[in-house]
Amino acid sequence: MGNERPLVEVMQLKKAFRLGGLHKKEPILALDGISFSMFPRQIFGLVGESGCGKTTLAKTMLALHRPTAGEVRFEGGNIFSYDQRQLERFRSQVQMIFQDPYGSLNPKMRVADALAEVLLKHKQVNAKECAKIIFELLEQVGLNKNHADCYPYELSGGQKQRIAITRALAVGPRVLICDEPVSALDMVYQTQIIDLLEHLQQRKKLTLLLISHNMMFIKRLSHITAVMYKGKIVEQAPTSNLFGEPLHPYTKLLLASIPKMNSRAEDSFPPSITRLVLSEKAQGCRFVTRCCMRLQDCTGAEPSLKPINDTHWVACHLYR
Amino acid sequence: MEPITKTFTQSYFRSLFLPLPNANSRQGSFFPNRPAVLGLWLLAVVIIIVFLGPMVSNQMPDQVDLSRTNQAPSQEYWFGTDQLGRDLFTRVCYGARLSLFVALSTAVIVSFIGVVYGGFAGYMGGWTDEVLMRVLEIIASVPFLIYAILLMTVLGPGVNSLLVALAAVYWMPMARVVRGQFINLKEEGFVIAARVLGLSRWRIILGHIVPNALGVIIVYGTLVIPEAIFAEALLSYIGLGVSSPQSSLGSLVGDGLGSIRLYPWQLFFPALFIILLVLSLNLIGEGLREYCDPRFFRQGGNGE
Amino acid sequence: MLLQVRNLEVSFLQQGIEAPIVKEIDLSLEPGQTLALIGESGAGKTVTALAIMGLLSPLKTRIRGLICFEGIEISSLNSKDMAKIRGNKIGYIPQNSTSSLNPALPVGMQIIEGLLFHRKMSFAAARELCISLLEAIGVVRAEQFFSAYPHQLSGGMRQRALIAMALAMKPSLLIADELTSALDVTVQAEVLTILKRAQDSRELGILLITHDLAVAAQIAETVAIYYAGRIVEGGLLKRVFSSPRHPYTQLLLENTWRLEKPEAKGTHGTTRIIRASSPANGIEGCSFAPSCGLVVSKCLEAVPPFVPMGLEHGVACWQALSMKGDRNGE
3-state helix, strand, coil in chain A (%, to 5): 35, 20, 45
Instruction: Measure C123 CA to nearest chain A CA, in Å.
Output: 23
Q: Is B27 on the interface with C (CB under 8 A)?
A: yes
Q: Which residue from C minimizes the CA distance to B32?
A: C15
Comparing CB atoms, the residue among A215, A258, A265 nearest residue C219 is A265
CB contact under 8 A, C271 and A192: yes
Q: How confident is the model at residue A270 (pLDDT cuts 50, 70, 90)?
A: low
Give the model confidence (pLDDT) of A67-83 as tens digits. 999 999 999 889 999 99
Distance CA A116, CA A134 (A): 7
| Residue ranges of A 80-119 with Cβ closer than 8 A to chain C | none
Touching subunits for chain A (3+ Cβ pairs under 8 A): B, C
Q: Is B63 on the interface with C (CB under 8 A)?
A: no
Which among B85, B16, B91 is positioned nearest to B50, based on CA atoms? B91
CB pairs under 8 A between A and B: 119
A200: CB partners within 8 A, 6+ apart: A140, A141, A165, A169, A206
Q: Is C328 on the interface with B (CB under 8 A)?
A: no
> φ, ψ for residue C56 (rounded to 5)?
-90, 135
CB contact under 8 A, C259 and A258: no
| Res B292: pLDDT | 67
Bridge partners of C315, per DSSP, are: C233, C307
Instruction: Measure B304 CA to nearest chain C CA, in Å.
Output: 6
Touching subunits for chain B (3+ Cβ pairs under 8 A): A, C
Q: Which residue from C minimizes the CA distance to A189?
A: C274
Instruction: Measure B289 CA to nearest chain A CA, in Å.
Output: 18
| Of C330 and A195, the one with more pLDDT | A195
Q: How many residues does chain B have?
A: 304
| Res A72: pLDDT | 94
Q: Which residue from A minimizes the CA distance to C158?
A: A277
Say which range, A134-143, B81-90, C33-42, has the weakest mean pLDDT.
Answer: B81-90
CB contact under 8 A, A265 and C138: no
Bridge partners of C231, per DSSP, are: C226
pLDDT, mean over chain C? 83
Give strand ranges (E) for chain A. 8-17, 28-38, 43-47, 69-74, 77-78, 94-97, 175-179, 207-212, 224-229, 232-238, 306-307, 313-314
In Å, what is the CA distance from A41 to each residue of A1, A6, A23, A274, A310? 9, 10, 47, 42, 20
3-state secondary structure of C235: strand
CB contact under 8 A, A127 and B8: yes
pLDDT of A314 higher than 90: yes
Contact A221, C262 (CB under 8 A): no
| Of A160 and B263, the one with more pLDDT | A160
Does residue B35 have a cis bond before it (omega within 30 degrees)? no
pLDDT of B20 higher than 50: no
| Res A37: pLDDT | 93
Q: Is C15 on the interface with B (CB under 8 A)?
A: yes
Q: Is the ipTM of this complex over 0.90?
A: no
**What are the helix (H) ranges across chain B?**
2-17, 34-57, 88-124, 126-140, 144-155, 159-186, 189-196, 201-203, 210-237, 249-257, 265-291, 294-301
| Of A7 and C308, the one with more pLDDT | A7
C68-91 burial code (b ≥16 CB/10 A, e <16): bbeeeebbebeeeebeebbeebbb
| Residue ranges of C 28-87 with Cβ closer than 8 A to chain A | 40-41
Q: How confident is the model at residue A266 (pLDDT cuts 50, 70, 90)?
A: low
The percentage of chain A sitting over the pLDDT mark of 90, rounded to a whole number, equals 35
Q: Is C257 on the interface with A (CB under 8 A)?
A: yes
Q: Is C14 on the interface with B (CB under 8 A)?
A: yes
Instruction: Measure B81 CA to nearest chain C CA, in Å.
Output: 50
pLDDT, mean over chain B? 79
Q: Which residue from A minimizes the CA distance to B22?
A: A153
Say which range, A124-128, A174-178, A315-319, has the weakest mean pLDDT.
Answer: A124-128
Give the model confidence (pLDDT) of C238-285 as tens digits. 999 998 989 899 888 888 887 776 554 444 334 344 444 444 445 678
CB contact under 8 A, A153 and B1: no
CB contact under 8 A, B304 and C276: yes
| Res C326: pLDDT | 58
Contact B248, B232 (CB under 8 A): yes
Q: Is C148 on the interface with A (CB under 8 A)?
A: yes
Residues of B in contact with C14 (CB under 8 A): 26-27
Touching subunits for chain C (3+ Cβ pairs under 8 A): A, B
Distance CA B124, CA B145 (A): 32
Distance CA C186, CA B169 (A): 56
The percentage of chain C sitting over the pLDDT mark of 90, rounded to a whole number, equals 22
Say which range, A16-25, A246-255, C92-101, has the weakest mean pLDDT.
Answer: A16-25
Amino acid at B47: I
Q: How confident is the model at residue C205 (pLDDT cuts 50, 70, 90)?
A: very high
Give the model confidence (pLDDT) of C236-249 as tens digits. 999 999 989 898 99
Give the model confidence (pLDDT) of B44-91 as tens digits. 998 988 888 877 777 777 777 777 777 777 777 777 777 777 888 888
Q: Best of A153, A161, A175, A180 to disrupt the B interface by mutation (most B CBs within 10 Å)?
A: A153
Which among C29, C8, C21, C6 is positioned nearest to C204, based on CA atoms? C29
CB contact under 8 A, B303 and A154: yes
pLDDT of A30 higher than 70: yes
Taking residues A223-237, what's their average pLDDT? Answer: 93
Q: Is C2 on the interface with A (CB under 8 A)?
A: no
Instruction: Measure B212 CA to nearest chain A CA, in Å.
Output: 7
Q: Which residue from C minimizes the CA distance to A280?
A: C152
Contact B98, B242 (CB under 8 A): yes
CB contact under 8 A, B32 and C42: no
Taking residues C185-200, what's their average pLDDT? Answer: 84
